[in-house]
């Protein structure tokens, strides 16, 4: 498996994986599904999109999007989202996506990678982020409305990209 920049021909698979996570309603804040046109525009407007590709078959197993978290004086802080196809979860694809994202964020010139809304019950993602060196900023009570309508806490995380030796060793 390799992580690489997305190509136009990857967009249908990326839309499918993205929509699968949106439909699950337990990790992404989005509620609207991407369609062919909106998906192509959405991925094109990101600072970088990476895909995890199964080298033998060319199958897209997961993806990430990377973009500024804010503008102007906070434009050096980026944000990212990760999606792995449900059939490919548990194979450490998410870790490879996060590590590649950190490298791309540094290459682009971002200084901090911040996650605004990691759902508290998403323990696999939280353990991954903490193992890589992210720091939890606190907890926002009831910050995420789950698909079934109940609210769960969210845990913002960040990692400093400029001069971060722990993350640098991982890449």
Dump pLDDT digits (tens) for 36-83: 999 999 999 999 999 999 999 999 999 999 999 999 999 999 999 999
Complete DSSP assignment for 103-155: HHHHHHT-SEEEEEEEETT-HHHHHHHHHHT-EE---EEEEEE-TTS-EEEEE
**Please, which residues bridge with residue 64 across strands?**
50, 82
Residue 134's CATH number: 3.40.630.30
State how many domains the chain has: 1
Confidence of residue 163 (pLDDT cuts 50, 70, 90): low
Q: Looking at residue 162, what is its pLDDT?
A: 80
Pick 168 or 55 by higher pLDDT. Answer: 55
**Beta pairing, strands 48-53 & 112-119:** unpaired
Q: Whose CA is closest to 137, among 110, 158, 162?
A: 158
Residue 97 domain boundaries: 2-170
Residues whose CB is less than 8 angstroms from the CB of residue 154 and which lie 6 or more positions away in sequence, other chains included? 116, 117, 118, 119, 120, 139, 140, 143, 144
- pLDDT tens-digit series, residues 101-129: 999 999 999 999 999 999 999 999 999 99
């Amino acid at each position: 498996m390799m992580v690489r920049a997305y190509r136009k021909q990857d967009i249908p698979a990326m839309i499918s994986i993205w929509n699968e996570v949106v439909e699950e309603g337990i990790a992404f804040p989005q509620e609207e599904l991407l369609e062919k046109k909106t998906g192509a525009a959405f991925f094109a407007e990101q600072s970088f999109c990476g895909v995890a590709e199964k080298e033998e078959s060319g199958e897209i197993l997961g993806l990430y999007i990377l973009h500024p978290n804010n503008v102007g004086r906070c434009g050096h802080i980026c944000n990212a989202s990760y999606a792995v196809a449900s059939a490919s979860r548990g194979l450490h694809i998410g870790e490879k996506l996060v590590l590649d994202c950190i490298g791309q964020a540094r290459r682009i010139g971002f200084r901090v990678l911040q996650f605004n809304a990691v759902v508290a019950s998403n323990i696999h993602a939280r353990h991954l982020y903490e193992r890589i060196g992210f720091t939890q900023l606190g907890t926002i009570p009831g910050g995420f409305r789950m698909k079934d309508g109940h609210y769960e806490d969210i845990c913002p995380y960040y990692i400093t990209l400029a001069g971060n030796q722990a993350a640098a060793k991982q890449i």
